[in-house]
Structure 1
Amino acid sequence: MGRFGVGQGLRRVEDVRFLTGQGRYSDDIKLDGQAYGVLLRSPYAHAEIRAIDLEEARALPGVLGIFTAEDLSADGVGDIPCLAPMPGKGGGKTVMPPHPALARGRVRHVGDPVVFVVAETQAQARDAADLVMIDYDDLPAVIDTGSAKEAGQPQIWAEAPDNTCLVWEMGNEAGTKAAFDKAHHVTSLEFVNNRVVVNAMEPRGTIGDYDAATETFTLYTGNQGSHRMLGPLSRVFNTPQEKLRVISPDVGGGFGMKIFVYPETVLVLFAARRLGRPVRWISERSEGFLSDTQGRDHVTLAELALDENAKALGLRVTTTANMGAYLSAFAPYIPTGCYGPMLSGLYSIPVGYTEVICVFTNTVPVDAYRGAGRPEAAYMIERLMDAAARDLGLAPEELRRRNFIAADALPFTTAFGETYDSGNFGLIMEKGLEAIDAAGFAGRRAEAAARGKLRGLSFASYGEVCGSNGEETAQLKLREDGGVTLWIGTQSNGQGHYTAYTQLLADKLGLEPEQIEIHQGDSWDLPQGGGTGGSRSLLMGGRALDGAADKVIERSRRVAGHLLEAAEADIEFAEGIFTVAGTDRRVTLAEVAKAAGGGNLPEEIQEPLEDQHHVVAEAQTYPNGCHLCELEVDPETGVTSILRYVVIDDFGTLVNPMMVAGQVHGGTAQGIGQALLEHTVYDENGQLLSGSFMDYCMPRADDMPSIELTMIEDMPCATNPMGVKGAGEAGAIGACPAVINALVDALSPLGIRHIDMPATPEKVWRAIQDAHEQRAAE
C-alpha cells in the first residue's frame, strides 16, 4: 500500500480548486449570446387556468419569447416521463398522469410552472413575467398525506380515484396473519415520517443550447449523472440520444434531488431551439422550495408480533406515501422497492408483510432524498423495536440481542428477500453501548433530574442496501508523461470522487496524485454512465476503474516486454515498475509511456495505451452500524440538547477513512435536522408556510453535537471484489431513530410513548404539558 493508496486519509485533491474559487458550477457557465429565462409559477395549489394574457409582457424591450403549454405542444415537446412504474397489488398498475413542463389547463401545486419568459437580461425577463396576466379558477386542494385517499376528498387526477397512484405489497400476507394470531404480545405504533426540503448548497441551474446545423441539443446542468438524463430527454424531444449532449460541471450537493429531468431542463432546450441562442435558468432558493423534489412524507402503522420470550414472530407495516402532484422520475419506486425490502432491519423476523399506498396531493413532487426509502424503513423498525421493548419492560438492547441476525447465520435471507452477506450486528451494538457508557447512564440521569432536566439515552441499529445498481463505465489513458487520464460515468456532488479515484489509481499504478487527471460529467466522453446515487460510486465506479487499469497494464506489458527484450509472460508489474521475473531488469511505467509515444515501436505493439471497462451490477451490499444518542430536555421550554453522539459503522473496506467520516457527519446532520428541526408545512389551501430559511429550520453548527465515530474494517463485503459496502447515506439512515428513541427515553417517565418528527421545542413542550394534564386527570 502506497502513501496515497487505499486506506490512507489523503486530503481531498479537489479542495484547493474549490477553496481558491476555481470551481465551475452551473451559474459560472456563460455562453456567447445567452438569454435568460424566468418562470411564472402558480400561486394556487389547485386551479383551472381560464386565460393567459401575454400581450403587454411581449411588448417590453428585450423580450425574446414568452411560452405556454400550447407552444410546447406545437413543437412536439412531450411530457416528462416517470421512469419507475411499480406493479400494483392484485395486478394493479401505477397510475401515471401526464407531467408537462408547463401546466396544461390546470395547476396542481403552488409553484407549478405555467409560463416561461425569455429575455436579453434577467431583469427584463422578470419585468415581463410581472406583466403576464393569468386568470385562475381556484379549486379545493388535497394536502394531508394520511387523509388524501379518503372518500369525499377533491380529486387531483380523474384517472386516479381516491387520489391513489398505486397500492403495492410485499411479503407473505397469510403467513404474517398466522404469526400475529399466535403472538404472545403485539406492539403497534403509528407515526409520521415528516416531509423535508432537500436544500443542496448549490441551487439547481440549467443552460440549454441547440445547433440547428446538426440538430443537436447541449444541456449544461449540475446533476447526479449526465447519462441518466439522455433517455428521458430523448423521449421528451423525440430525438435520438446521440443528438443530445449533457455536460455536468461541478455540483454543490445533490442528495437525490439532482438526479431528475425537471420542467426547467426541458424548457431551456425547447427555448434554445425556438430562439436559436442559448437559454439559461438558475433557481433562487425560494424558487427551489416550490420546485425541487422533496423527501420522505410517510404515514405508517407498524406492528410487531412477539412470542413469550420476546422473539419476533412477524412484522406488518401499512404505509401511505405522498407522491405530490406529479410523479417524479423514481417516485413510485422509493417508498416501495427501496423501502419494502429493508423493513425487517437487522432482525431475524421469520415472516413479514407490507402494503404501501402511494397518493397524490396538491404539493411539490416527492422523490429520492439521501437514503431513498432506507431511512424511512430504518426509522420504522427501530422505533418499533424500542416501543416493543418498553411495552415488555425490557431494555432496548436486550430486545435487540434476542432478535438480531446472528453473525454465524450469515449469509441470511430476510423475510423481505434481502440476503445479508457479512457483519456482526450484535457486536457493533455492544461496542456502541460501551463507547457511550450506557452502564453509567442511570447516575447521569439522576444528576440531570436533580437539575430539573429530563435525560435520555437510546440508539438505533441500522442496516442499508446500496451501491451495486445498474452499470458503469471507465476509460483510462496512459499519457506520454507517465501520468494517466480517467474518464468515468459517475458524478461528484461533493463526496470527494476525485480523491477516491486518485487513491485507487495511485495504489494500482504506483503514481503520485498530481499525475492523475479525472474527468466526469460529459455524456459524450463515454458510451454509458450510471451517475451517482444509492452509495454506488465507489462500488461501481471503483470496479470499472480497476478493470480499465488492468487492461492498460496489459497493453503496457507488451511494450515493457519489447523494451526489456523479454517474453510478455515473464513481465511482472508492481508499484509502477515492470520487471522481468527473477531478475533486476526493470522499466518504469513512465518509460513505457514515453516509448509508446515515440513512434519507434514495432508495428504489432503500436497502439494507444488506453482502454475502457464496463461493469454490470451483481449482488447488493449491506453497510450497517449503530447510532447512539444521549440528550437532555428542558421541560420548561421543550428544548432538546444532544450531549453525546456515538456512531459505530461497518462499511467494509475503507478507501479514505477521513472522507468516510465526512460523509457520516454530513448524513448525521441531515438526520438530526429531520428529527428535531426540519418540517415542510402546507396550510389547508396548499400554501407553503415553510417556504424559506426564515420558516424552515435547517440545522446549524450549534445544533450539532461532536460525533464520536468508530469504523469497523474487519468484516469486508463478500459480494463486492473490493470489499466496499458503501457509506454515503448511512448517517442519514441511523440518525432519525437514534435521536427520537433517546428523546422518548427522556420523556418516558412522564408516560410519553412516542413523539413525531420534527420534535421541535414547541412539540416537546406540548407533549409534556399534555402528559401532566393527563396525570392530573387520573
Structure 2
Amino acid sequence: MAISRYVGARVRRKEDPRLITGTSLYVDDLKLPGMLYVAFVRSTYPHARITRIDPAPALEMPGVVAVITGQDLRKWVKGADLSAGEGTAGEEEEGAGAVPQVDPLAVDVVRYVGQPIAAVLAEERYLAHDAAAAVQVDYEPLPVVTDPEEAMKDGAPQLYPQVKNNIGVRWDHKRGDVEGAFAQADTVVKQRFRNQRLSGVPMETRVVAAAPEPLTRGVTVWSSTQAPHWSRDAIAGALGLAQSQVRVIAPEVGGGFGVKIGVYQEDVVLAALARHLGRPVKWFETRSEHMLVTNHGRDQVVEYEAAVRKDGKILALRANIIQNLGAYPKGLFLPATTGTMLVGCYDIPAVEIHAVGVYTNTMAVGAYRGAGRPEAAYYIERMVDLVADALGLDPAEVRRVNFIRPEQFPYTTATGERYDTGEYEKALNRALEVAKYQEWRQRQQEMRQQGRHIGIGMASYVEICGFGPWESATVRVEPSGAVSVYTGTSPHGQGLETALAQLVADELGANFDEVVVHHGDTASVPQGNGTMGSRSLVVGGGALLMAIERVREKARRIAAHLLEAAVDDIEFADGKYRVKGAPDRALTLAQIAGAAYGPGLPAEIEPGLVATDFFAPPDEVFPFGTHVAVVEVIPETGEVKILQYVSVDDCGPRINPLLVEGQVHGGLAQGIAQALYEEVQYDENGQLLTGTLMDYAVPKANMLPSFITDKTETTTPLNPLGAKGIGEAATIGSTPAVANAVMDALKPLGIKHLDIPLTPQKVWAAIQQAQA
C-alpha cells in the first residue's frame, strides 16, 4: 500500500488529550443512582473445606445491605467458563482429564489463597471491605501442593477428583528422525530451564460495574476487559440469558497485557447481583487483590536436549515442558503454544515434545504478554548460546548456520507451524551493525583484562500473532463527511484509534480530525474478538480496509452520478473523487456524503454511506527480529547494569512508527524485568510472598537504559496491509538477550547457566560459589 500523508507518518495519538487531562472515563469513574459497592471474602487457605460461613457480624454493621455466599449464588448462576486464551493448541493436543467447572463463589472447597467465598454489598466502598473482614469462615485444611512436578506424582494432593495426577492438559508431538539425529550428533547439549511466574501489573487493576437493564430484562456490565464480546458471551451463559440481553462496555482500559482477557469470577458475580438485587453494583480490585487473584503468567519448567553437529547445526530437539496451571483452567493453551514455537526461527528438522499442564494450589496461570511464545523463545535462544559455548563458536554464527532461509518460505516447522515470510539473517546483521558487535567484542577482552565482567548477549526471535478467526469493522460516513468507525478489537493503551483513523483518512479521503473510532461496546460493535495476540491492526485493520473499500466504491458511484460521468471514469486520488484526466472535476467525501443522505439519488443507489465487513485471515503471521544487550556484572554486589540495548524488530509496514516505538519500549521494559527482577513467589504452604509492590520488583525508570531501536521490513501476503504484529515482540526478544548477556559476563568464572530472574542476590551467590 502506498505511503501517503498519514500512513507511515509519526502522527501523535488522538487518545492522549483526554487521557493526560484526566477527562476520560474509566469503569471506576462510573457512578449510578443507588449504586452498591462490593467487597469479597477471600480464602486465607490454599486448600481447605469450608465448614461454616457466618455473615451475621457483617450484616449487623450499618450500611451493609447483603452478604451473598456461593450457595446463594447457585440459585442465579449455572456455573462459569473461566478458561480464556489466545492461539490454538494444535492437532496433537490431548485432554488429560475433564475440565473442572468453577463456581464463581466457592461453595465446598477452596483451592488457592484469595479464592472468593462470599460477596459483601454495602453503601460505601470501604464499609464493604470492613464488612468482608467481619464475615467469619471456618475451614478444614487439606493437603497443599504448589510445585507442578510434585503435583504430577502418584499420591500427591488432588485438586479435582476427576483430574488424575492433577494433569489438566497434555500435548505430545514428534516429527522427523529424532533418534537418528541424536545418534549421529557430534555433541548433545542438555539444560533444565525454569521460566518464573509473573504478574501483569497494569496501571489500572480490574474493575467491574453492573446494572439491571429493565427493557431487555438483562444486565449491562462495565468491565476493564480486553475482550468485551467474550465477556458478554460468558456472562450470558452463566446467567442463562440470551446474548442480546447482556451488554458489556469497556471504556478506557488502563493496560491489560493479557491478564484482562476473558471473564473472571467477579464479573459473573457482579452481573448476577445487579440483575437479581435490582441495583447497580461496583467492585474495584485493590493492588494486593490484583497480585493475588488476577491470573499470573509464565511458570514453566523445561528439560531440553539438542543434538548438534560440530559446525553448530542443530539436528534435533527433545523437550519436556511442565506448565503450572494454578488452581483452575485459565491457560490450558499454554503448553501447546510453547511447544509449537519450540524451534524459533531455526530450520530444525526433528523434534520430540512432551508438554503437560498441571493444577496446583496457586492462582491460575493464563495469558501474559506473549503467552507461551516468550517462554519458547527464551529456551531456544539460551540453547543456541549453550551450543555456541560447548563448541567454542560465536553465538551469532550458530544462529546463521541454523536460520530458515528466505527462499524456504512459506515454511512449515517440525512443530507444525506454517511461517509466512521471514528474513532472519537480515535482522541479525542489522542488529549487529547497529550495536557495533565486533567493536564490543574487542572492548570486552580489554575490559576483562581490567577485571570487569562485561557480557554481550543476543536473541533472534520469531513470534506468532494475528490470530483469527475473524474481526469486524463498520465504517459509517456521516452526512457532514465525518466518519465513525466501529471495531471489534478493544485496545487498552496501544493507540489503535490513531492508527485506524490514519487508514480512514488516507483510504477514504476523510478529515483525520473528524474520524472517531468506537470500540469496547457490544451494543454498537457487530461482533468482536478483542485485543490480544498482536491482532488489532493485522486482523482488525484488515476488516477496516475491507469496509473502507465498500464505502469508497459506493462513494465513486455517487460521485459518478453527481459529476455526470461513468463509474469507471471516477478515480480516488489525492483524497478526492475525480474524473480521470480532469482533476478539476472532483468532489470531497463531505460533498458525496451530503448527497448520500439527501434527495435525488438514482433508484439503483440506496441512500447512506455505511458498510460492515469481517476479515478472516487465512493463517497467523510471524514477525521477528534480533536484540543485542551489553551488560556489566558487579561481582561485589551481583548487580547487573545494562550498558547498551539494541532492538531490531520486523513487523512489516509501520502505519505509525511512533506507536510501534511505544510498543517496543514497553515490551522491552517487561522482558528485561523478567530477566532481572520480577517473580511471583509462593511458599511451600501456598501463601503468596509477593502480595504488594513492596515485594514484587517492577523496575523503576532508572533501572532501564535508553533503548536503541531499529527495523527491517518484510511484508506478509496474509492481510491487506501486509503488516505483522508488534505488541508482544519486544517482550519475547528481550528476556533471552539479557539473560545471554549476563551468562556471557559470568562465563570466565565457569558459570554456564542461572535461572531467571538474575537478581543481585542470585548472581552474587553464584559468583561466590564459583570463586570458592
2:159 corresponds to 1:156 = yes
Task: Report if aligned partners of 1:88, 1:166 keep a CA contact under 8 Å in 2.
Answer: no
Q: Secondary structure at the match of 2:727?
A: coil
Aligned-pair CA distance for 1:507? 1.2
In structure 2, the residue matched to 1:80 is: 81
Matches within 5 A, 1:597-636: 597-636=597-636
Bigger shift: 419-428 or 24-33?
A: 419-428
Separation in 1, partners of 2:604, 2:274: 48
Residue 2 of structure 1: CA displacement? 7.2
Tell me, yes or no, if structure 1 residue 478 matches structure 2 residue 477. Answer: yes
Question: How many angstroms does 1:751 deviate by?
Answer: 0.6
8 A Cα contact 1:149 1:162, kept in partner:
yes
After TM superposition, the structure 1 = structure 2 runs for residues 104-503 of structure 1, keeping only pairs within 5 Å, are 104-172=107-175, 175-328=177-330, 331-336=331-336, 338-503=337-502
SS at 1:153 equivalent: coil
Deviation at 1:604, TM superposition (A): 4.0
Moved more, 32-41 or 126-135: 126-135
Q: Measured at CA, do residues 13 and 164 of structure 1 come closer, stay the same or move farther in structure 2, by a change above 3 Å? A: same
Residue-by-residue CA offset, 1:734-778 (whole Å, 9 max, x unaligned): 0110001000000011110001110000000011111112xxxxx
Distance change in 2, residues 1:617/1:410 (3 Å): closer
Query: Which residue matches 1:568?
Result: 567
For residues 676 and 733 of structure 1, the distance between their equivalents in structure 2, rounded to whole angstroms, comes to 14
Q: Does structure 2 retain, via aligned residues, the 8 Å contact 1:491–1:531?
A: yes
Q: Secondary structure at the match of 1:194?
A: strand
In 1, distance between residues paired with 2:346 and 2:162?
40
Amino acid of the residue matched to residue 218 of structure 2? T
- What displacement does 1:409 show? 2.3
* Coordinate RMSD, CA, aligned: 1.7
- Amino acid corresponding to residue 122 of structure 2 in structure 1: A
Structure 1 Cα separation of the partners of residues 621 and 686 of structure 2: 40
Aligned partner of residue 646 in structure 2, secondary structure? strand
Distance 1:194 1:762 in 2: 16
Paired residue secondary structure (2:319): strand
* 2:312 maps to amino acid: A
Secondary structure at 2:149 match in 1: coil
Q: Which residue of the partner structure matches residue 505 of structure 1? A: 504
Count the aligned residue pairs.
768
Residue 222 of structure 1, CA deviation: 1.3
What's the counterpart of residue 526 of structure 2?
527
Is the CA contact 2:481–2:589 (under 8 Å) kept in the aligned structure 1? yes
**Deviation string, structure 1 residues 136-165 (Cα, Å, up to 9, x no partner):** 112221112333212332222222222211
Residues 369 and 553 of structure 1, relative CA distance in 2, 3 Å threshold = same
Deviations 1:327-379 (A, max 9, x none): 12xx111221x222211111111111211111111101000110111100100
Helix, strand or coil: the match of 1:566? coil
- For residues 215 and 407 of structure 1, the distance between their equivalents in structure 2, rounded to whole angstroms, comes to 57
Structure 1 residue 212 displacement after superposition: 4.2
Do the aligned residues in 2 keep the contact of 1:255 with 1:369 (CA within 8 Å)? yes
Q: Is the contact between residue 47 and residue 108 of structure 1 (CA under 8 Å) also seen in structure 2? A: yes
Query: Structure 1: how far apart are the matches of 2:93 and 2:521?
Result: 43
Find the aligned partners of 2:504 and 2:91 in 1 and give their Cα distance: 45
Report deviation, 1:414. Answer: 1.2
Equivalent position SS for 1:195: strand
**Higher mean C-alpha displacement, 212-221 vs 759-768:** 212-221
- Distance in 1, matches of 2:335 and 2:9, equals 37
Alpha-carbon distance in 2 for matches of 1:409, 1:606: 49
In 2: Cα distance, 1:488 partner to 1:92 partner: 34
Residue type of the alignment partner of 1:706: S
| Maintained 8 Å contact 2:46/2:144 | yes
Matched-pair contact (CA < 8 Å) for 1:86–1:93 = no
- The CA distance in 2 between the partners of 1:316 and 1:636, in whole Å, is 38
Q: Which residue identity lines up with residue 219 of structure 1 in the other structure?
A: V
- Can you list the C-alpha shifts for 1:189-243, whole angstroms capped at 9, x where unaligned? 1010000011011010000111245211111011112112122222211211111
The match for 1:744 is: 743
Name the CA distance, whole Å, in 1 between partners of 2:179 and 2:652: 37
Partner residue in 2 for 1:55: 56
SS of residue matched to 2:317: strand
Question: Is contact 2:308–2:316 with CA below 8 Å preserved after alignment?
Answer: yes
Select between 758-767 and 345-354 the one with higher mean Cα deviation: 345-354
User: 1:567–1:89: structure 2 CA closer, same or farther, 3 Å change rule?
Assistant: closer
2:72 is matched with: 71
- Quick one: distance in 2 between partners of 1:136 and 1:439? 63
Unpaired runs of 5+ in structure 2?
none
Please say which of residues 154-163 and 599-608 is displaced more in the overlay: 599-608
Distance across 2 between alignment mates of 1:162 and 1:612: 49
What is the aligned partner in structure 2 of residue 639 from structure 1?
Answer: 639
Are the counterparts in 1 of residues 37 and 124 from structure 2 also a CA contact under 8 Å?
yes
The aligned amino acid for 2:548 is A
Residues 764 and 417 (structure 1 numbering): CA distance in 2 closer, same or farther, change over 3 Å? Answer: same
Farther-moved stretch of structure 1 (750-759 vs 581-590): 581-590
3-state SS of 1:74 partner = coil
Identity percentage of aligned residues: 43
1:446 Cα offset (Å): 3.8
Q: Which residue of 2 aligns with 1:776?
A: none
Change in Cα spacing, 1:222 to 1:459, as seen in structure 2 (3 Å) is same
1:598 aligns to what SS in structure 2? coil
Task: Tell me what 2:11 maps to.
Answer: 10
Contact 2:617-2:719 within 8 A present in 1 as well? no
For residues 426 and 213 of structure 1, the distance between their equivalents in structure 2, rounded to whole angstroms, comes to: 60
| Counterpart in the other structure of 1:711 | 711
Structure 1 distance, partners of 2:419, 2:80, is 40
- The one-letter code sitting in structure 2 at the alignment partner of 1:629 is A
Deviates more, 1:598-607 or 1:510-519: 598-607
Aligned mates of 2:616, 2:94 — CA distance in 1: 30
1:102 corresponds to which residue? 105
Report if aligned partners of 1:508, 1:575 keep a CA contact under 8 Å in 2.
no
Give, in whole Å, the separation in 1 of the partners of 2:635 and 2:665. Answer: 29
Deviation at 1:556, TM superposition (A): 1.8
Tell me the secondary structure at the aligned position of residue 708 of structure 2.
strand
The 5 Å alignment of 1:656-675 reads 656-675=656-675
Write the deviation string for residues 593-633 of structure 1: whole angstroms up to 9, x where unpaired.
12223334344434111111111121221100001000000
Partners of 1:443 and 1:646 in 2: CA distance: 18
Cα distance in 2 for partners of 1:89, 1:463 equals: 22
Q: Is 2:696 aligned against 1:693? A: no
Q: Which amino acid aligns with 1:279?
A: V
Q: Is the 8 A contact 2:506 2:575 kept in 1?
A: no
Tell me the amino acid that sits aligned with residue 541 of structure 1: G
Q: Which residue of 2 aligns with 1:516?
A: 515
| Partner residue, 1:39 | 40
d(CA) in 2 for partners of 1:445 and 1:5?
44
* Counterpart residue type for residue 480 of structure 2: D
Equivalent-residue separation in structure 1 for 2:3 and 2:194 (angstroms)? 49
Unaligned runs of 5+ in 1: 774-778
Say if 1:68 and 1:114, in contact at 8 Å, map to a contact too. Answer: yes
Does the 8 A contact of 1:627 with 1:738 survive in 2? Answer: yes
CA change 1:61–1:763 in 2 (3 A) is: same
Aligned-residue offset at 1:717: 1.6
Deviation at 1:694, TM superposition (A): 0.5
Tell me the SS of whatever aligns to 2:197: coil
Structure 2 residue matching 1:486: 3-state secondary structure: strand
Q: Is the 8 A contact 1:23 1:250 kept in 2?
A: yes
The DSSP-based 3-state class of the residue aligned with 1:356 is strand
Distance 1:551 1:368, change over 3 A: same
CA contact (8 A) 1:633 1:641 kept: yes
Secondary structure of residue in 2 paired with 1:257: coil
- How far 1:402 sits from its partner (Å)? 1.2
